[in-house]
Amino acid sequence: MIDIEYQLKKSPRRRTISIHIHPDCSIRVLAPSSLADEQVSTYVDSKRRWIEAKIACFRASRHLYLPKQYVNGSSFDYLGHHYRLKIISGDGRVRLMSGRFLVPVPETLPQSDHAPFIRQQLSNWYAEHALSRMQEKTLEYAKRLDCYPGPVAVKGYRSRWGCCFADGRIIYNWRLIMAPVRVIDYVIVHELAHLKQRNHSKRFYNEVGSVVPDYKDQRQWLRHNGHHLQV
């Protein structure tokens, strides 16, 4: 039996072990600091069949999800909808108009620099709109949950969609703005619920379910499609 290779990160704040498998088939394990490496290894091995199935699924679907192309007609998602890329000459900001992302590219920019420039411009646009929406929706759902969040920010997390801190701050992954609205709402409610339940207990999910009754469907969508939310 071949050993499962993984990157281990321990934290005194964690109470449970979680396994994250990335689209490149690398494995990251998050565990409490109190657990010995041998205990973590035993746990990972107990999940071998699930890990192997997940990796097989990623490998089988690789041909369906080609790397992004930054050329006219390429598709990019926003709030669960597909929009085509339209590159225009000139300076200015990215705009979403008539079902297309309009991205100005300076005429003096070398062709070899077009792709990274367009990618960065789109990333900035997504992050800006994600922050605005997350702030608005967080306040809206906080009223329904009767809780009081701190400042809201966005960040390019690699393996999480949101994080709620003990002081009330909430940080969301800006790539979440590409997902369907219902999925976004689930993540927002999930993080807000942590202000009332600092765990993933039955009480916690009761809080989430009181606002998003179909949260299991949204969570499943993220598990299956989250790795495709890329610029």
Summarised one tens digit per residue, pLDDT across range 183-208 is 999 999 999 999 999 999 999 999 99
**Which runs of consecutive H residues, i.e. helices, occur in 36-104?**
37-46, 48-61
Q: Is the pLDDT of residue 115 over 60?
A: yes
Provide the residue type at 58 as one letter. F
Q: Report the DSSP pairing between strands 27-32 and 170-173.
A: unpaired
| pLDDT band at 58; cut points 50, 70, 90 | confident
Q: Are 70 and 118 in contact (CB under 8 A)?
A: yes
Give the pLDDT mean for 226-231.
Answer: 88
Q: Is the pLDDT of residue 147 over 70?
A: yes
DSSP 137-189: HHHHHHHHHT-----EEEE--SS-SEEE-TTS-EEEEGGGGGS-HHHHHHHHH
* Separation CA 20–CA 231 (nearest Å): 21
Mean pLDDT lowest among 21-25, 79-83, 86-90, 220-224: 21-25
Task: Give CA angle at 31 (138, 202), nearest 5°.
Answer: 50
Cβ neighbours, 10 Å, residue 178: 23
Percent of the residues in the chain that have a pLDDT greater than 90, as a whole number: 76
Q: Are 91 and 100 in contact (CB under 8 A)?
A: no
Provide the residue type at 201 as one letter. S
pLDDT for the residue numbered 66: 63
Q: Burial, 118: exposed, middle or buried (Cβ in 10 Å; 0-12, 13-18, 19+)?
A: buried
pLDDT for the residue numbered 21: 85
pLDDT for the residue numbered 65: 56
* Separation CA 83–CA 123 (nearest Å): 15
Q: Are 150 and 201 in contact (CB under 8 A)?
A: no
Give the pLDDT mean for 65-73.
Answer: 82
* Separation CA 227–CA 110 (nearest Å): 31
Summarised one tens digit per residue, pLDDT across range 84-96 is 999 999 999 999 9
* Separation CA 216–CA 210 (nearest Å): 13
Nearest to residue 177, comparing CAs of 77, 102, 104?
A: 77
pLDDT for the residue numbered 62: 60
Q: Is the pLDDT of residue 174 over 90?
A: yes
Summarised one tens digit per residue, pLDDT across range 10-46 is 999 888 899 988 777 889 999 999 999 999 999 999 9
pLDDT for the residue numbered 25: 80
pLDDT averaged over the chain?
91
Domains defined along the chain, listed by start: 7-64 (no CATH), 75-228 (3.30.2010.10)
* Separation CA 174–CA 163 (nearest Å): 12
